[in-house]
Amino acid sequence: MRQALTTWIMASVRRISTQEIMRISRAWFRRISSEKLIDLSTIQRLFDGSQFGLSGEEIKDVELSLLLLASAHRVGNRQFDHASKLLNLCDFLSSNKGNSVQRVVHYFTKALQDRISQESETVSSKRSESKERKLLYPAEITVGVNPALIWCCLQLPCLQLVQFAGIQAVIDSLDSAKRVHFIDFGIKTGGHCTVLMQALANRQECPIELLKISGVGVKASRQRIEDAGKSLACFANTLDLPFSFKTIIVASIKDLKKDMFEVSDGEVVAVYLPSILRFIKAQQDCLQCLLTVLRKLNPCVMVIIEPVLNHSSPIFIDSFLEVLLFYSTCFDGVEGCIDQCDPNRISVEASMGQEIRDIIAAKDEERIFEHMKMDEWRDYFIRFGMVETQVSMSSFYQAELMLKNFASGKSCLLVRNGKCLMTGWKETPLLSLSAWNFQQEHSKKNCTKKSKVY
């Protein structure tokens, strides 16, 4: 009886989200940012949590967030001594094992401390590796080989539905093609490829003559990609699906050549780019090189998944706030799907912490990530002669069906944005899914039938 009462009381207490805490903090910070001296006592004196109906713990969360914003404001103004004092307090009050606000503040505090360290260097030391020699995708050393992160990704409906909808978009574009060459720049374990394989194997009309999958990666991921290929070959055998797999390893995108893919006459090429372009764009001229190679391959469709984030504002505090709100929503999404004490949750949040650190602390020429929002990607692709195609309603409906498999599915956002889909947590978009091909007279010659547009 006592346990049931405790459960009811806990369920009846509504704790506002981390993102809401950050939005309140942002609005209130604008009122107090003009104060000459900002410390915890100043914040406690000026902030009135009663007008928001906050609990005592939530008031402490807002105060902690205000400390973080005050620190970022000082960092942006290069007032590093004052910022460091505030960050020391943030570090003391936050934790990677606390509530979601404390976890977010923990990682942003580390990022700001790292930025101060970078900015304070009188002589910038050269990195042992040039930007050209960086890993093709940082995910290769995180999600790619970490079972805990792979497990976490399977628990997050936003990631699962955008991946599933992306593969459905590929299937819709292939239509009656008999020889398919699927080029995957984020194959990981290859689990998503099984959806494509089943769809092609079950096709009644125009039986598939060959499915060729090319997995693209870097040297460190060779074994994993080859293992994925072997697993997919076994799966293809159970489906009686004609199948071949090719591993393509490069040190840099600039090393990628058309001939590496060995595209045969009559093959319909489809390209899958899941959250990869943000890495490639940060490397000088690499995205142009990639798109140049892909144009020569003349894909029937390129499915692109990217985070909905922009941190390019010249004003540091504005950029900081954009990143803070985005990752606060990400942490809310993880909290809604994975238990607070689960060690795997700490792993996936630490991975996001690496991203935060890179965005906030790294110098422009050393940054691994360069994000853009969907409208900016559209402008970029159009200038490169690409044409956006409609992500079909079947992809949308399949994504909706997938959400029903998750207890937290009702908290996920799934909306259209022009011809693309967007998914996120509550009302905040986090990922975009779009489909593209190249604008040229023969852009559809390899497709035996046009994709349907709904």
Query: For residue 50, what pLDDT is reported?
Result: 77
Tens of pLDDT, residue by residue over 324-353, are 999 999 999 999 999 888 888 998 999 999
Contacts of 341 (CB under 8 A, 6+ apart): none
Vertex 226: Cα angle to 221 and 231 (nearest 5)? 125
pLDDT level of residue 5 (50, 70, 90 thresholds): very low
Please choose, from the candidates 320, 265, 300, 286, the residue with its C-alpha nearest in 3D space to the C-alpha of residue 451.
Answer: 300
CATH number for domain 141-310+371-438, candidates 1.20.58.760, 3.40.50.10680, 3.30.1330.10, 3.40.50.150: 3.40.50.150
Question: Quick one: pLDDT at residue 138?
Answer: 52
Q: What per-residue confidence (pLDDT) applies to 252? A: 87
Pairing of strands 268-274, 301-307: parallel
For the segment 26-46, the average pLDDT, to the nearest whole number, is: 80
Task: Provide the token pair at 45.
Answer: 């004196």
Q: What is the mean pLDDT of residues 413-425?
A: 95
Find the mean pLDDT for residues 107-116: 97
- Average model confidence (pLDDT) across the chain: 86
Q: Residue 111, CB half-sphere, CA atoms under 13 Å: how many?
A: 27
- Confidence tier at 14 by pLDDT (50, 70, 90): low
Which is higher by pLDDT, 110 or 406? 110
Tell me what pLDDT residue 20 has: 95
| pLDDT at 129 > cutoff 50 | no
Averaging pLDDT over each range in 25-34, 43-52, 118-127, 310-319, which range is the top one? 310-319
Task: Answer whether residue 122 shows pLDDT above 50.
Answer: no
- What gap in Å lies between CA 414 and CA 392, rounded to an integer? 14
Task: Kindly report the three-state secondary structure assignment for every residue of the chain.
Answer: CHHHHHHHHHHHCCCCCHHHHHHHHHHHHHHHCCCCCCCHHHHHHHCCHHHHCCCHHHHHHHHHHHHHHHHHHHHHCCCHHHHHHHHHHHHHHCCCCCCHHHHHHHHHHHHHHHHHHHHHCCCCCCCCCCHHHCCCCHHHHCCCCCHHHHHHHHHCHHHHHHHHHHHHHHHHHHCCCCEEEEEECCCCCCCCHHHHHHHHHCCCCCCCCEEEEEEEECHHHHHHHHHHHHHHHHHHHHHCCCEEEEEEECCCHHHCCHHHHCCCCCCEEEEEEECCHHHHHCCCCHHHHHHHHHHHHCCCEEEEEEECCCCCCCCHHHHHHHHHHHHHHHHHHHHHHCCCCCHHHHHHHHHHHHHHHHHHHCCHHHCCCCCCCHHHHHHHHHHCCEEEECCCHHHHHHHHHHHCCCCCHHHEEEEEECCEEEEEECCEEEEEEEEEEECCCCCCCCCCCCCCCC
Predicted local confidence at residue 126, as pLDDT: 44
pLDDT at 164 over 60: yes
Q: CATH 3.40.50.150 occupies which residues in the chain?
A: 141-310+371-438
CA distance linking residue 54 with residue 299, whole number of Å:
53
Share of the chain above pLDDT 90, in %: 60
Gap between the terminal Cα atoms of the chain: 54
Mean pLDDT over residues 412-427, rounded? 94
User: Can you list the pairs that 417-420 forms with residues at least 24 positions away whose Cβ atoms lie under 8 Å?
Assistant: 417/374, 418/374, 418/378, 418/388, 419/388, 419/389, 419/390, 419/391, 420/374, 420/388, 420/391
On the CB side of 435, how many CA atoms lie within 13 Å of its CA? 28
Q: Judging by beta carbons within 10 Å of its beta carbon (0-12, 13-18, 19+), is residue 282 exposed, middle or buried? A: buried
For range 269-290, the mean pLDDT: 91
Residues found in the chain: 454
Per-residue pLDDT, 401: 86
Indicate the pLDDT class of residue 429, thresholds 50, 70 and 90: very high
The 8 Å CB, 24+ separation contacts for 125-128 are 127/366
**The most confident of 5-14, 336-345, 444-453, by mean pLDDT:** 336-345
